[in-house]
């Protein structure tokens, strides 16, 4: 029986990429989107791509970034699947290579139990173009899940993961069930299940 389900955030629970949406205000969204696309396909080192993308939103007012992050659009079925899993007694956690300014308010709206992501550095109310946090590297999700698994004394078969990109591969290796959701080919190869319909309620049929 599944006891823990870990979700990626951007393009999994949230419809799009937070960093790309933030960069629109500065006219950098095409450049950021291209870097993101290559990183999620496994063509670029995740850490290097993250640092490069965050540098492109330097100068954005923090208040503007927070306003955008509080009003992100979720994937169809996001709230429903979290509610369903929690009703089954399954803990729900988000691992995001994105940012707490997005995953924290989303936690209040969707109801997942815990989230790990990164912090956008700011000074005097302005983003500095620097970032730090728990999910900075391509293998961060796998390492964090290994820690959680040990702390909660869970077996691989008691864990499910849902994601879409290359930086989700490491957490799939720590779980018995890996669900590639509208995902890049690199993650589909590591998955036990594949969903190509953009509706998270499809997960119910697997779990």
| Beta pairing class for 126-133 and 114-123 | antiparallel
168 catalytic residue (yes or no): no
| Beta pairing class for 114-123 and 91-99 | parallel
Backbone angles phi, psi at 94, to 5 degrees: -110, 130
Of 10, 29, 164, 168, the active-site residue reads 10
196 catalytic residue (yes or no): no
Pick from 197, 196, 162: nearest CA to 10? 162
Q: List, by residue number, the catalytic residues.
A: 8, 10
């Amino acid at each position: 029986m599944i006891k823990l389900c870990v979700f990626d955030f951007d393009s999994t629970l949230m419809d799009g990429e937070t960093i790309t949406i933030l960069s629109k205000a500065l006219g950098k969204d095409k450049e950021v989107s291209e870097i993101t696309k290559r990183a999620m396909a496994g063509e670029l080192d995740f850490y290097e791509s993250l640092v490069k993308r965050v540098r492109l939103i330097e100068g954005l007012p923090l208040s503007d970034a927070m306003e955008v992050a509080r009003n992100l659009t979720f994937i169809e079925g996001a709230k429903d699947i979290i509610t369903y899993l929690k009703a089954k007694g399954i803990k729900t956690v988000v691992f995001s290579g994105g940012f707490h300014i997005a995953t924290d308010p989303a936690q209040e709206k969707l109801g997942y139990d815990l989230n790990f992501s990164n912090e956008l550095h700011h000074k005097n109310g302005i983003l500095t173009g620097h970032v730090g946090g728990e999910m900075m590297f391509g293998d961060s999700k796998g390492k964090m899940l290994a820690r959680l698994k040990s702390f909660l004394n869970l077996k691989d078969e008691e864990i499910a993961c849902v994601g879409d990109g290359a930086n989700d591969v490491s957490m799939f290796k720590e779980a018995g069930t890996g669900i590639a959701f509208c995902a890049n080919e690199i993650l589909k190869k590591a998955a036990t299940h594949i969903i190509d319909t953009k509706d998270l309620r499809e997960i119910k049929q697997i779990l």
